[in-house]
Structure 1
Amino acid sequence: MAIGILGAGKMAQMLVPKLVSGGHHVTISNSRGPESLQPLIQQLGSGVSAATPEQMLAEADVVILATPWEKTPAALAAAGSWAGKVVIDATNNRRGPRPEDLIDIGGKGSSEVIAQMVPGAHVVKTFNYEPIPVFAAGLPAEGDSGAIFFSGDDAQAKATVAQLIRDLGGEPIDVGSLVEGGKLHGMGGPLSLKLKLLAPKEAKALLSTLR
């Protein structure tokens, strides 16, 4: 697949080498333009390119949203129309890891808010319920581990993301809709902050106790 990433921070830098190893081409974009990304592109190697947000969105089959929360609305608006796109939401409504860094969004799930910002897109929530180093260390999985929770409302989009998780060396675990499932594996939910990737059997057993 042609994978686009909006944002070039730690999440993007963690995922890009794994996506390329999985056989995908990745295009990174940010608010400062492609030239600002050239040092990072050279560091990440082949299979990666830089583009404007508009170019990235037009060419990508799947877009991973990896922007800081407070910059996300402007970044999404600048990219253009999201209608019909599969969007992996890897953001969180936080400024940092401390409790006081949580940004109040009125009791909604963070991916619910994102979905409202990208009308017509098919949003799938994943990669945002553990600290980034957990995913970095756990993918590709070694031995009996590597369960990756995801949620969304569109079956085809979820199937696409499930295959992408497999390409990264993980085992996709569907936890349901963007709203109800998102509450389970949103940051602070009962499936989050285990500080490791669970074994698939362990993840399914834990999920079954919540339904």
Structure 2
Amino acid sequence: MIIGILGAGKMAQMLVPKLVSAGHRVILSNSRGPASLEALVEQLGPGVSAAESTQMLVDADLVFLATPWEKTAAAVAAAGSWTGKTVIDTTNNRRGPRPVDLIDIGSRGSSEIVSELLPGAQVVKSFNYEPIPVFAAGLPPEGDSGAVFFSGDDASAKAKVAELIRDIGGEPIDAGTLAEGGKLHGMGGPLSLKLSLLPPKEARALLAAARLA
């Protein structure tokens, strides 16, 4: 696939080598334009290019949303129409890792809000519930590990995301709908901050326990 990434920070830089190794092409975009990404694209090597977010969105088969929370609304609006796109939302309503960095969004999950910003898109939440280095080290996994939680409302979009997780060495674990699962593996939820990617059996047991809590 052609994978677009909106945002070119640590999340994007962790994902790109894994996606390229799996045979996908990657288009990076950010708010400052492709010229600002030339050095990074050169560093990341073949299979990676940069484009304006509007062009990235047209060309991509699937898009990772990897923007800081407070810049997300403006970034997705500037990219154009998201209708028909499968979007993996990696964002969290945080400014940083500390408890005081949490941004109050009320009772809804963060991806429910993101979904409203992307009318016509199929949003799947994933890659959000552990620090980025955990995903970097755990995909592909060493031994019996590498479970990756995801959640969403559209079956075809979830199937596409599950396939992509397998492509980069993970075992996809469906946590349910965007509202239910998104809260379970939102940062601070019962599926988050284990500081390693779990074995699939353990991940499924943890999910079952979280649903009963």
- Please report the TM-score for the alignment, with normalisation by the length of structure 2: 0.98
Q: Deviations over 1:123-153 (max 9, x none)?
A: 0000000000000000011110000000000
Map 1:1-211; keep pairs closer than 5 Å: 1-211=1-211
Q: Structure 2 counterpart of 1:62, which letter?
A: L
Q: Deviation per CA, 1:103-125, whole angstroms, max 9, x where unpaired?
A: 11112111001000000100000
SS in 2 for 1:179: helix
Report the AA paired with residue 13 of structure 2.
Answer: Q
How far apart in 2 are the matches of 1:116 and 1:57?
17
The Cα of 1:26 is off from its aligned counterpart by 0.2
Q: May I ask how many residue pairs the two structures share in their alignment?
A: 211
CA distance in 2, matches of 1:204, 1:106: 28
Equivalent pair of 2:191/2:210 in contact (CA under 8 Å):
no
Identity %: 77
Q: What is the letter of the counterpart of residue 188 of structure 2? A: G
Distance in 2 separating the partners of 1:136 and 1:39: 21
Write the deviation string for residues 61-109 of structure 1: whole angstroms up to 9, x where unpaired.
Answer: 1000000011111100000000110000001110001111011111211
Q: CA deviation at 1:210?
A: 2.6
CA-based RMSD: 0.6
SS in 1 for 2:18: helix
Distance in 1 (CA, whole Å) between partners of 2:37 and 2:187 is 29
Q: Name the SS for the 2:210 alignment partner.
A: coil
Q: Following the alignment from structure 1 to structure 2, what is the Cα–Cα distance between the partners of residues 141 and 104? A: 34
Q: Distance in 2 between matches of 1:206 and 1:31?
A: 38
* Ranges in structure 1 where 5+ consecutive residues have no aligned partner: none
The CA distance in 2 between the partners of 1:79 and 1:188, in whole Å, is: 30
In 2, Cα distance between equivalents of 1:181 and 1:106:
17
Asked whether the 8 Å contact 2:162–2:172 carries over to 1, the reply is yes
How far the C-alpha of 1:163 sits from its partner, in A, is 0.3
CA–CA distance in 2 between the matches of 1:205 and 1:103?
A: 30
Look up the equivalent residue of 1:71 and give its one-letter code: K
User: Could you tell me which amino acid in structure 1 is paired with residue 49 of structure 2?
Assistant: S
Instruction: Give unmatched runs, 5+ long, in structure 2.
Output: none
Q: For the residues of structure 2 that align with 1:210 and 1:66, how far apart are their CA atoms?
A: 26
Q: Matched residues in 2 for 1:106 and 1:190: separation?
A: 18
